[in-house]
Amino acid sequence: MSSPAEDHSATRLHWSQIHGWFGWRDLQEEAAATFAEGSVFVEVGCYLGRSLCSLAEVVSESNREFNVVGVDFCRGSGPEGTAARDAHAAAVADGGGTLAGQLHRNIIACGYADRVHLLVSPSPAAATLFADGSLAWVHLDARHGYESVLADIDGWLPKVAPGGWLSGDDYNEQWWPGVVAAVRDRLPDAHECSTRQWRWVKPPDASR
């Protein structure tokens, strides 16, 4: 008779099998190579965990200890972008109004339940749980409207340590003009990197 642990191992997933949109693996690898062991990496906006579980894999393969935190409200973002598409609607409906169960199951199935800390919370509220200057890297991929991205930047920027990164997905003016406008207004010295990503490096002498 199989033990519960053996039964669970039969459901093992790889992050690439999780539905989602993800194109910044190179940033994850760079972060693991750049920051000191023990640093905290936060992904804001996880959907079903594709990129979050990739980050956990990168950290695991680095053979160095990092703390990985995923933050998501888990109720979907609603219609967004120039196409006004609600990309999360089906998953939210399947979960009875929340993505949380499927996201957590995917993290477990990928083998990272003990490595990934999951916060089910609106983004700005989650930011208040962290001390200023305590995070090496925060990657924003939550709601993409102008006001939402501004709120995310304002909430998380003080939490980034000097020399740390604040970055985000969907830096594309054609599809996601709100993202581009918010980044330009709040962080005019941020730059595009990877594939449709933006990144801002906090100055070493920054007080905020």
Q: Say which CATH number the domain at 105 has.
A: 3.40.50.150
Q: Domain for residue 151, yes or no? A: yes
pLDDT band at 41 (very low <50, low <70, confident <90, very high): very high
What is the number of domains present in the chain?
A: 1
Q: Domain for residue 208, yes or no? A: no
Residue 58's domain comprises 25-201
Q: Domain for residue 115, yes or no? A: yes
pLDDT of 1: 39
Contact present, 98 and 75 (Cβ < 8 Å): yes
Percent of the chain with pLDDT over 70: 94
Assess whether pLDDT exceeds 80 at residue 84.
yes
The whole-model pTM stands at 0.92
In this structure, of 68-82, 94-108, 156-170, the range with the lowest mean pLDDT score is: 68-82
Q: Domain for residue 197, yes or no? A: yes
pLDDT band at 10 (very low <50, low <70, confident <90, very high): low
Instruction: Give the residue-averaged pLDDT of 30-56.
Output: 98
Q: Domain for residue 80, yes or no? A: yes
Assess whether pLDDT exceeds 90 at residue 149.
yes
Q: Domain for residue 85, yes or no? A: yes
Q: Domain for residue 206, yes or no? A: no
Q: Domain for residue 16, yes or no? A: no
Instruction: Give the residue-averaged pLDDT of 13-29.
Output: 96
Assess whether pLDDT exceeds 50 at residue 205.
yes
